[in-house]
Amino acid sequence: MARVGGRNAAFAWVVGLACAATVGVLAFLAIPMIPASVSWLAEAAGRPSTSTPAAEATGKVASVDGAPTRCADLYDEALDAALTFAPGAAGLTTSSDAPTTTASQLVDALRPQVVFTCAWRADAGTVTTTLATVPADAGPIAAAALPSAGFTCSSQAERTRCTRTEGELTETIEAGGGRWLSTSETGWHPSDYVTRIAKRVWG
């Protein structure tokens, strides 16, 4: 068989052996990384997705157990407009302040864990609402404790609603399903305020 001009068989063998040795060394060095790579791939395959397409599509903040997680989600559009554009309205103030209520003994007993507190101020007066988490039996406890403090209590589906009015102050405390929703209205009593925000919390 004729040889191709310029090719040296011995040199080709040397180059081939050198390449094989290099590949072998690289393979040897890669062996310790195999378990880590396999583990990473397994974790990636089993890791749940962190995206929330529904929330991203609507622009709303995801809720905890179906309840709002911010003041903006507590109000429907019509109620939000009524509060925002009321005469002399100063806008919404959000905080994590404790519930505004005269039922301090009930607050001490249940120790509501505040999710948020929403405060509105206008020429007519103020409206302050707190959403919090409480023990599951908070409703029956409120129904038993609050009448002696001047509240009138009633059952509203799976929760208890207690209301007290004295002069320009109207207080409402609702508890059920591990949730607490209290509102203090002083001078300003927006139409169906308590009922409308309760629907946002309990549906």
> For the chain, what are the domain ranges?
9-46, 61-202
User: In the prediction, which pLDDT does 157 show?
Assistant: 85
pLDDT value, residue 22: 57
What pLDDT sits at residue 202? 95
Q: 12 CB contacts (<8 Å, ≥6 apart)?
A: none
pLDDT tens for the 203 residues of the chain, in order = 444 454 455 545 554 555 555 555 455 545 555 454 444 344 444 433 333 332 333 333 334 467 899 999 999 999 999 999 999 999 999 999 999 999 999 999 999 999 999 999 999 999 999 999 999 999 999 999 999 999 999 998 889 999 999 999 999 999 999 999 999 999 999 999 999 999 999 98
Q: Which CATH number fits domain 61-202: 3.40.50, 3.30.70, 3.40.1000, 1.10.132?
A: 3.40.1000
pLDDT at 2: 47
Which residue is listed with tokens 């001078």? Answer: 187
**Per the confidence metrics, is the pTM higher than 0.75?**
no
